[in-house]
Structure 1
Amino acid sequence: MTSFLSHRAQWWADLPSARADILAGIVVALALIPEAIGFSLIAGVDPQVGLYASVVIAIVIAFTGGRPGMISAATAAVAVLVGPLVRQHGVEYLFAATLLMGVIQIAAGFARLHLLMQFVSRSVITGFVNALAILIFAAQLPQLIGVGWQTYAMVAGGLAIIYLFPRLTKTVPSPLVAILILAALSIGLDLPVNTVGDMGSLPQGLPLFALPQVPLTWETLRIILPYAVTMAAVGLLESLLTAQIVDDMTESDSDKRRECGGQGLANMAASLFGGMGGCAMIGQSVINVASGGRRRLSTLTAGLFLLFLLAVLGPLVGRIPMPALVAVMIMVSIGTFSWSSIANLRRHPPTSSFVMVATVVVVVWTKDLSLGVLAGVILSGIFFAAKVQRMFSVERSVSPEDGGIVYQVSGQIFFASVERFTRAFQTEPAGSRVLIDVSMAHFWDISAVGALDKIVLRLRRERNVVDIVGYNRASADIVDRYALHDKIGFQSGLIPH
């Protein structure tokens, strides 16, 4: 993996860019606190576990990740997986599973598993984004139920600042301005609104290095391995999808292979400093990019400023009003949702629209991003196979020269099209000369070769002479290796093109 030292442009540019990265990182750090506390509660651990994880992961991934400007921290996608492990075996086993999770992700980077993202269609990514936007918005609803009018007024005021302040100046990110103004009003007027401190106690001091206190036995490995594999897979899936989304937002490329290894190193470090596992966060990444964060400096600032907030300004941070952060997250959900996808439902092919909607439904219904993406990928594969299986034709004609039967095959022959391919050949009168011209066809797999065997052997049993002409090189190779019709005592008739 490329050293971060060779990417100086991803750290420093001119002063305005550096200032934008620093200010964006501050906004992200403030928004990370309630989410990290909430994810800790989901996992069944103390809030400091999620907060320390967010600090360490953000700092480490700033140096090791492959997508500058992307934010990684403790996430709900990982937190929902580890609840049973914590309840049954304790938090130390969570740290051990997170350590192993990191090792698996590093191995995935070396194995180039990031290339599997090539099989995730644009429809799936759009569905993933839309579902996440819906979940981000839904996560704010508990803060808007059973509260006083002051909360609604502050949320409305926060949204007004976020969307109107950039008309005055874009020097300072509007979400940061909204948080500071609403915090000052809440504290100064002692408004009856929920605060960050109401979500859980904030840790005191710095995270300490310590190895997981678990027995080094095969039994421990048996317990943590299933969780570690699942956490690693979900973490990489969400991280790589988020990286692709940030690529699109910034119109730049990223090193997905490096991102896999970087996520692994970050999670290993988190486990050694008393943190849970995590991955990239699309919501926080959108906040960062929208606030002007483009480089690694923004990610590093988020981690360092979060550490500063926890270690030095803990009591003050606990008084930040939740309506201010709710307004920021509503802005994120609005900005994340692909509104053009609604109009595209009628313009895009029905199968693409169905895949997108199905991905949204599964993610929102199960609240599991990995299940939604998996469903979308499977549906995309099924629709693609159904489409390609029709991309071939078989035309029968009679040769005017010798009266022989000629079958002209064109298109793609593979496992999904072999049944229709086989049915396209008729029963011919005994003694006929049959020529199968495959010069415009391609045989992809052993299922296609098997179908060709079936056709040729059936025609020969009817005492016909069968010749095949026109194989391209790839088709000839697979037929030579796996075909049976030229190996069981009949004339092969193979005439390579």
Structure 2
Amino acid sequence: MNIIAYKREWFSNIRADILSGIVVALALIPEAIGFSVIAGVDPKVGLFASFAIAVVSAFTGGRPGMISAATAATAVLMVTLVRDHGLEYLFAATLLMGLIQVFAGILKLGRVMRFVSRSVITGFVNALAILIFMAQLPELIGVPNLTYVMIAAGLGIIYLFPYVTKAIPSPLVAIVALTLVAWFTGMDLRTVGDLGELPSALPIFALPQVPLTLETLQIILPYSIALAAVGLLESLLTAQIVDDMTDTSSRKSQECIGQGCSNIASGLIGGMGGCAMIGQSVINVTSGGRGRLSTFVAGAFLLFLILVLDDIVRIIPMAALVAVMIMVSIGTFSWRSILDLRRNPWQSSVVMLATVVTTVGTHDLAKGVLVGVLLSGVFFASKVAKLFHVRSVISEDGQVRTYHVDGEIFFASTEAFILAFDFMEPLKKVVIDVHEAHLWDITAVGALDKVVLKFRRHGVVVDVIGVNEASAHMLDRFAVHDKDGGVLQAH
């Protein structure tokens, strides 16, 4: 990437990036504290992690405008490690997680996004929207009626203020307005200060205090691999979503490297591992954030808020932040996908719904996407297998039958391939013409072996003709039938 394009990603949208970054920073505070609670660590661990991950990813990431910080997806994987081995092992696991992600980026593993179908991405988005809303339920159940009034007022400001002006992000206006109203009227509402103690000092750079032994590696490696995989999965999917929202492209493998560098930085200042956050990324984009500056401001202003403006942050009513997250949930959900359920092929709808149900049911994004990708693969293989067919013609003397094979021969179509041949027909010779076919895997080679050998057991000579170069290479390596007993002709 050239320096001019990189500078443009930083400074082409300065005003909107700064304002959107401020909104995101405010929304990050309750999330970071909440995820720290999930992981069983002090709130400062999540807050410092969010600061480090956001700031470093602004410089090293491959998707400008995307927000990365401490997340629930990674927090749930840390619980057992913290409980059984302590906080220092969490920091060590976070460092190793980052190194694995950097290595993944160097290997260009960001390209795996090509194998995630649109239906899986839609299901992922819808599931996240549902999970974001469900995360707000503790602030909506068993609370004073005044809380609902404040949330409604916040949503009113968020959706109506853009009609007045779009110069200032409406979520920022809603947070400021509701905070001022709650403070001046003395409303008895739950605030950010009720979530936990905010840190009072800058994070300190330090290596994890763990023994540098093989035993330590054996403890942290399984956690680090899981954290790295889940973090990259969510980050790459979120990057794709931001690509679609902004009608721009991003460098997925560079994003892997950026996520790794961010987590290394987090581990070195006493933070937990994290990844991209779709909710905060949506807030950033809808508030006008497009460049790297918005991500940097989100992280830097978060640290400024908790260390300098902590007295103000503590009085922000949770109702204001809940209103913002409900807006994110509504805006994230693909409402069109509901209408498309009847218009799209039923396989696509099943993949989308399976991704949603699995993700929401397990609260595990990786499992939801894995189910969706596997179903997509099964349906694709089934569809391609149906395009396969075999036709045959008999010679005038009735002694030679030529089978013309069209389509793709692979594990899903080999059964149909074998059933297409009549092994009991009295013939002297069989010609299998694969000019219009391709053998994709060893299952296909095995099927051809089975057909050839079965004909030979009945005393029939078999010629295989029209084998393309790639298929011939597969046959040379893996076929077991004696080619001297027939003719193998490549084209």
TM range (shorter): over 0.9
- Equivalent residue for 1:7? 6
Q: Aligned with 2:258: secondary structure?
A: helix
Instruction: Tell me, yes or no, if structure 1 residue 201 matches structure 2 residue 200.
Output: no
2:56 paired residue number:
60
1:153-180 Cα offsets, whole Å, 9 max, x none, are 1100000000000011100000000000
Q: CA-to-partner distance for each residue in 1:359-410, whole Å, 9 max, x for gaps? A: 0001101101111011111111111112222221111221237652121111
Count of matched residue positions in the alignment of Structure 1 and Structure 2: 491
Q: Could you tell me how far 1:486 is from its partner in structure 2?
A: 3.1
Q: 1:436: Cα distance to partner? A: 1.4
1:182 paired with 2:181, answer: no
* Match of residue 281 from structure 2: 285
Distance 2:125 2:347 in 1: 18
Give the residue type in structure 1 aligned to 2:327: M
Q: Is the deviation greater in 330-339 or in 210-219?
A: 210-219
Give the match for residue 168 of structure 2.
Answer: 172
Instruction: Give the Cα separation in 2 of the matches to 1:51 and 1:146.
Output: 27
CA contact (8 A) 1:485 1:492 kept: no
State the AA in 1 paired with 2:159: Y
Query: Match for 1:123 among 119, 123, 133?
Result: 119
Contact 2:455 2:462 in 1 (8 A): yes
CA distance in 1, matches of 2:228, 2:46: 17
- What is the CA-CA distance between 1:206 and the residue it aligns to? 1.1
Task: State the alpha-carbon separation in 2 of the partners of residues 88 and 406 from structure 1.
Answer: 68
1:452 matched to which residue of 2?
Answer: 448
Shift of 1:351: 0.8
The code of the aligned residue for 1:495 comes to Q
The correspondence for 1:327, drawn from 312, 318, 323, is: 323
Distance 1:59 1:128, change over 3 A: same
Give, in whole Å, the separation in 2 of the partners of 1:464 and 1:307: 80
Partner of 2:408: helix, strand, or coil?
strand
Alignment of 1:55-204 (within 5 A): 55-204=51-200
Name the stretch that deviates more: 447-456 or 239-248.
447-456
Choose from 27, 30, 42 the match for 1:34. Answer: 30
Q: Which moved more, 1:150-159 or 1:444-453?
A: 444-453
Structure 1 residues 339-488: aligned runs within 5 Å:
339-400=335-396, 403-487=399-483
Aligned CA distance change for structure 1 residues 431 and 163 (closer, same or farther; 3 Å): closer
Task: Compare 392-401 and 157-166 and name the one that shifted more.
Answer: 392-401
Is 1:496 the equivalent of 2:490?
yes
- Report the secondary structure of 1:427's partner residue: coil
Q: 2: CA distance between counterparts of 1:431 and 1:231?
A: 61
Moved more, 396-405 or 83-92: 396-405
Pairwise CA RMSD: 1.3
Q: Secondary structure at the match of 1:493?
A: strand
Contact 2:67 2:281 in 1 (8 A): yes
Residue 81 of structure 1: SS of its match in structure 2? Answer: coil
Give per-residue Cα distances to partners, 1:434-484, cap 9 Å, x unaligned. Answer: 121111111111211111111111112211122222222222222233222
Quick check: 1:155–1:323 contact (8 Å CA) kept in 2?
yes
The CA deviation at 1:491 is 2.2
Higher deviation after alignment, 110-119 or 67-76: 110-119
Q: Partners of 1:27 and 1:415 in 2: how far apart?
A: 52
SS at match of 2:77: helix
**Any gaps of 5 or more consecutive residues in structure 2?**
none
Quote the Cα distance in structure 1 between the aligned partners of 2:449 and 2:190. Answer: 73
- Is contact 1:106–1:265 with CA below 8 Å preserved after alignment? yes
Q: Quick check: 472-481 or 206-215, which moved more?
A: 472-481
Instruction: Say if 2:399 and 2:426, in contact at 8 Å, map to a contact too.
Output: no
Counterpart contact for 1:430–1:463, Cα < 8 Å: no
After superposition, the C-alpha distances for 1:78-111 in whole angstroms (9 at most, x for unaligned) are 0000011111111111111101111111111111
Is the contact between residue 205 and residue 310 of structure 1 (CA under 8 Å) also seen in structure 2?
Answer: no
Residues 39, 74 of structure 1: 8 Å contact kept: yes
Residue pair 2:401, 2:427 contacting (<8 A) in 1 also: no
Ranges in structure 1 where 5+ consecutive residues have no aligned partner: none
Structure 2 length as normaliser, TM-score?
0.98
